[in-house]
Amino acid sequence: MLKIGCHLSNAKGYVNMMNQALDIGANTFQFFTRNPRGSRVKNIDHEDIGNFNNMMKENNFNKIVGHAPYTLNPASPDNRVLNFAYLTVEEDLSLMELMPGNFYNMHPGSHVKSGVEEGIKRVIDVLNQNMSNTMTTTILLETMSGKGSEIGRTFEELLMIIDGLNHPDKVGICLDTCHVYDGGYDIKEDLDGVLYELDKVIGIERLHAIHINDTKNPFASHKDRHEKIGDGYLGEEFFFKLINHKDLKDKIFILETPNEIEGYAAEIKLLKYNYGNIDF
């Protein structure tokens, strides 16, 4: 079964997201843990989360993904920004533990001209300060496009973070199709080669989720502008091959395309129809 969902709004709570997901044929979804472009966090509704956990079991729902806010920058040399990162990761992981066994996705951040190695040291410290060997949440480091001073454009940079952690078994990777293509990994023409490289550097077993986005930008543009499936440089055929790839069939696929809920429903239907119909 294709594990497919999209990014949903948490404005009306977790049960509402579950109902939306079921309505559009999704069996997983992603949500922001707080205001994505600010710092505000919602009050926790324990009854809503409890009901949501029950619905996950009743519907045999796949793992979900909590996404950190865009304002999170654990690689920053700015103490104010860095302190916010420590607090945000602490609060977000506490929230995710109320829904045990799911994923917390985060961008590694930007070193802001302080150097990749120094930025990575800060990311490692933020994570080490907030992780434990008893946590059930798996943190996912997202592949990035390499714009500006972003960390995480290469698999090697992500491995440097993982290798510095006290609990590396609690960390995996989220591959973003737009980001890796924009970042210089040609998944369109050489998907096997890119997956081989990922396996060689990090290990394919660490890949848990895939952000499935077309891109407005040509190969290796080092930008980050998502496009609807089939409307960008990757094209429909690529995504049909992606979801049918033998090494990816157990992964969670999350749409982050520029859509409203109706558009996500149409893309999920399109991908489901083509799942299992391509020999790859």
The CB-side HSE value for 99 (13 A sphere, CA atoms) comes to: 31
Residue 278 and residue 262: Cα distance in Å, rounded?
26
Q: How many CB atoms lie within 10 A of CB 62?
A: 19
State residue 215's pLDDT score: 97
Which tens digit of pLDDT belongs to each residue from 234-268? 999 999 999 999 999 999 999 999 999 999 999 99
Is the residue at 235 inside a domain? Answer: yes
Q: How many CB atoms lie within 10 A of CB 79?
A: 8
Is the residue at 74 inside a domain? Answer: yes
Is the residue at 280 inside a domain? Answer: no
- Indicate the pLDDT class of residue 35, thresholds 50, 70 and 90: confident
Is the residue at 167 inside a domain? Answer: yes
Phi, psi at 167, each rounded to 5°:
-130, 65
Is the residue at 278 inside a domain? Answer: no
132 Cβ contact list (under 8 Å, min separation 6): 167
Is the residue at 107 inside a domain? Answer: yes
Is the residue at 279 inside a domain? Answer: no
Closest to 163 measured CA to CA, from 111, 213, 210, 201: 201
Is the residue at 237 inside a domain? Answer: yes
How many folded domains does the chain comprise? 1
CATH code at position 137: 3.20.20.150
Owning domain of residue 172: 4-273
Task: Decide: 204 and 192 in contact? Cβ < 8 Å.
Answer: no
Closest to 176 measured CA to CA, from 146, 148, 203, 209: 209
Which tens digit of pLDDT belongs to each residue from 157-200? 999 999 999 999 999 999 999 999 999 999 999 999 999 999 99
Closest to 263 measured CA to CA, from 237, 226, 222: 226
